[in-house]
Amino acid sequence: IESRHRLRGGWQMAPYACQRRTPLLHSNQPLTEALETLAEEAGFSGSEGRSLAFTRAASVLKALPGRLSTLEELGPLPGIGEHSRRVIQDVLEDGVCAEVERVKLSERYQTMKLFTKIFGVGVRTASRWYQEGLRTLVDLQERGTKLTRQQQAGLRHYDDLNTPVERGEAESISRAVQGAVQRCLPGTSVTLAGGFRRGKPHGHDVDLLLTHPEAGREAGLLSRVVSWLDSQDLILYQHSQENSYALQEGPEPPGGRDVMDRFERCFSIFRLEVQGGPGAARGWKAVRVDLVVAPISQFPFALLGWTGSRHFERELRRFASHERKMVLNSHALYDSRRVWQLWAYVGTWG
- Which residues carry out catalysis? 205, 207, 290
**Binding positions for Mn ion, rule: CB under 5 A:** 194-195, 203, 205, 207, 290
| Shortest distance, position 3 Cβ to ligand GTP, whole Å | 25
Q: Are strands 10-11 and 165-166 parallel, antiparallel or unpaired?
A: unpaired
Nearest approach in angstroms of CB 14 to Mn ion is: 26
> What's the maximum distance between 2 C-alpha atoms anywhere in the chain?
66
Nearer to ligand GTP, 8 or 310 (CB): 310
Query: Does residue 36 touch ligand GTP according to CB under 6 A?
Result: no
Q: How far apart are CA 271 and CA 285, in angstroms?
A: 6
Q: Decide: is 260 part of the binding site for ligand GTP (CB under 6 A).
A: yes
**Under a CB-based contact definition with an 8 Å cutoff, are residues 4 and 65 in contact?**
yes
Residue 194 found at the interface with ligand GTP (CB under 6 A): yes
DSSP symbol at 252: P
- Minimum distance of Mn ion from residue 230's CB (angstroms): 20
**Residue 117 lies near ligand GTP (rule: CB under 6 A):** no
Measured distance CA(315)–CA(204) in Å, rounded: 22
Interface pick for ligand GTP out of 259, 280, 342, 346 (rule CB under 6 A): 259
169 binds ligand GTP (CB under 6 A): no
Tell me the residue type at 276.
Answer: G
Site for ligand GTP in 272-331 (CB under 6 A): 305-306, 308-310, 313, 330
Per rule CB under 6 A, is residue 160 in the interface with ligand GTP?
A: no
How far apart CA 62 and CA 28 sit, in angstroms, is 7
Give the residue with the Cβ less far from Mn ion, 90 or 205.
205
Among 154, 203, 279, 295, contact with ligand GTP (rule: CB under 6 A): 203
* Of 79 and 194, CB closest to Mn ion: 194
Cis, bond preceding 244 (omega within 30 deg of 0): no
Q: How far is the CB of 34 from Mn ion (least distance, A)?
A: 24
**Other C-beta atoms lying within 10 Å of the C-beta of residue 36:** 18
260 binds, among ligand GTP, Mn ion, none (CB under 5 to 8 A by kind): ligand GTP
CB-based contacts of 190: which residues, under 8 Å, 6+ apart?
Answer: 174, 177, 178, 181, 208, 209, 210
Told to check if 205 binds ligand GTP by CB under 6 A, we report: yes
Choose among 95, 60, 66, 96: nearest CA to 78.
60
Minimum distance, C-beta of residue 258 to ligand GTP, in the bound complex (Å): 8
CA triple 53-119-298, angle to 5 deg:
70
Whole-angstrom Cα distance, residue 161 to residue 151? 12
116 near ligand GTP (CB under 6 A): no
Closest to 236 in 3D by CA, of 275, 192, 282, 289: 289
**Residue 43 binds ligand GTP (CB under 6 A):** no
* Binding interface with ligand GTP (CB under 6 A): 194-195, 200, 203-205, 207, 259-261, 305-306, 308-310, 313, 330
